């Protein structure tokens, strides 16, 4: 690992100030991607800014309409939240499918979303639930947040302070996991709101996206079999040793059908 300067600011103002005054800085949240990347010498920041000392980045607030989760809140804290389970249980169910317990004990929601790993689980919830990503500078609609492979709408120095998830009437998340890493080869979140159905997909493409074709048929008829008529184009989908673009396109439909079935099974 390369030599770097380590900082642990106590507030957002200091964190941003350090970032702006450093040559090649990076924020450290859970470190589930950053630390291995640095150990393999694929990244060599001059300054590592640890966000764990900023108390305003953690916490959960639940209302009738919104579940608000601080950016530095760790996965297990989210997954074990009785308040979230009572209002938006799909979030707890999704968290339970992230990696293993060690990862869930260290990783943070904001770090996962900011990283925009193409196979991460949280992005499907951000897109599928129509969340709002809040930073120290602005609010960003979830539909506009993910841009490409490890690329988001965040500006340099911008920190996710919290994410606001609208409470769906019903929602479910299903994924086809890589058996070793537990990352999503494909994961699909289906959410029903009073004004229609939303479908968020992760794992299939370079970043999370809405499956509007599936949304259209489910809004016409909320029936898993309706998804059979949808053509999911594989152009631009990920291709690796785990799955071809064609297979990922097939999995999008299968996971969407399973998520819809799970949603319908709920009162």
**pLDDT tens-digit series, residues 186-243:** 999 999 999 999 999 999 999 999 999 999 999 999 999 999 999 999 999 999 999 9
Write out the two tokens for 118.
């193409």
Q: Are 209 and 145 in contact (CB under 8 A)?
A: no
CA distance 110 to 247: 30
pLDDT for the residue numbered 2: 77
- Region for 217 from its dihedrals, namely left if φ exceeds 0, alpha if ψ lies in -120 to 50, beta otherwise: alpha
Q: 260 falls in which pLDDT band (50, 70, 90)?
A: very high
DSSP lists the bridge partners of residue 177 as 184
Containing structural domain, residue 46: 5-50
Q: Look-up: residue for tokens 């992760």? A: 202
CATH number at residue 42: 3.30.43.10
The SS3 assignment for 111 reads: helix
Same domain? 139 vs 42: no
CA distance 234 to 252: 10
Same domain? 64 vs 32: no
Once rounded to an integer, what is the mean pLDDT over residues 169-189?
96
DSSP lists the bridge partners of residue 111 as none
* Residue 96 scores a pLDDT above 80: yes
Same domain? 26 vs 86: no
pLDDT for the residue numbered 199: 98
DSSP lists the bridge partners of residue 202 as 187
Same domain? 13 vs 141: no
* Residue 91 scores a pLDDT above 90: yes
* Residue 1 scores a pLDDT above 70: no
Give the Cβ contact number of residue 260 at 10 Å. 25
Query: In this structure, what DSSP letter does residue 57 have?
Result: G
Once rounded to an integer, what is the mean pLDDT over residues 33-61?
95
Same domain? 22 vs 132: no
Query: Could you give the number of structural domains in the chain?
Result: 2
DSSP lists the bridge partners of residue 141 as 132
Q: Are 116 and 146 in contact (CB under 8 A)?
A: yes
Strands 25-28 and 47-50: parallel
Write out the two tokens for 45.
């920041």
Same domain? 214 vs 249: yes
Query: Mean pLDDT lowest for which of 12-21, 27-36, 69-78?
Result: 27-36
Taking alpha carbons only, the member of 106, 73, 103 closest to residue 91 is 73
Q: 119 falls in which pLDDT band (50, 70, 90)?
A: very high
DSSP string, 167-192: PPSEEEEEEEE-TTT--EEEEEEEEE
CA distance 148 to 123: 12
Q: Which residues contact 120 (CB under 8 A, 6 or more apart)?
A: 112, 113, 183, 184, 202, 208
Average pLDDT for the chain? 96
Same domain? 139 vs 230: yes
Same domain? 42 vs 155: no
Same domain? 133 vs 196: yes
Write out the two tokens for 42.
């694929």
Same domain? 181 vs 127: yes
């Amino acid at each position: 690992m390369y030599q770097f300067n380590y900082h642990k600011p106590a507030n957002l103002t200091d964190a941003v100030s350090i970032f702006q005054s450093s040559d090649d800085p990076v924020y450290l949240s859970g470190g589930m991607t950053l630390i291995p990347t640095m150990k393999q010498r694929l990244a060599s920041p001059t300054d590592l800014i640890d966000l764990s000392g900023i108390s305003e980045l953690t916490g959960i607030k639940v209302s009738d309409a919104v579940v608000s989760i601080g950016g530095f809140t760790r996965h297990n804290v989210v997954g074990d939240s009785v308040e979230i389970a009572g209002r938006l249980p799909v979030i707890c169910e999704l968290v339970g499918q992230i990696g293993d317990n060690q990862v869930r004990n260290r990783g943070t929601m904001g770090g996962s979303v900011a990283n925009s790993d193409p196979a991460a689980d949280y992005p499907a919830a951000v897109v599928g639930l129509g969340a709002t990503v809040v930073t120290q500078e602005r609010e960003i609609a979830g539909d506009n947040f993910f841009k490409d492979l490890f690329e988001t709408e965040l500006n340099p120095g911008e920190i996710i302070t919290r994410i606001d998830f609208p409470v769906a009437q019903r929602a479910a998340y299903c994924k086809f996991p890589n058996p070793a890493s537990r990352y999503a080869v494909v994961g699909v979140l289906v959410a029903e709101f009073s004004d229609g159905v939303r479908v968020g997909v992760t794992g299939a493409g370079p970043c999370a996206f809405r499956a509007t074709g599936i949304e259209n048929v489910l809004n016409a008829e909320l029936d898993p079999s309706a998804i059979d008529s949808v053509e999911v184009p594989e152009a631009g989908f990920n291709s690796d040793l785990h799955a071809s673009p064609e297979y990922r396109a097939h999995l999008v439909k299968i996971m969407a059908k399973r998520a819809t079935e799970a949603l319908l099974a709920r009162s």
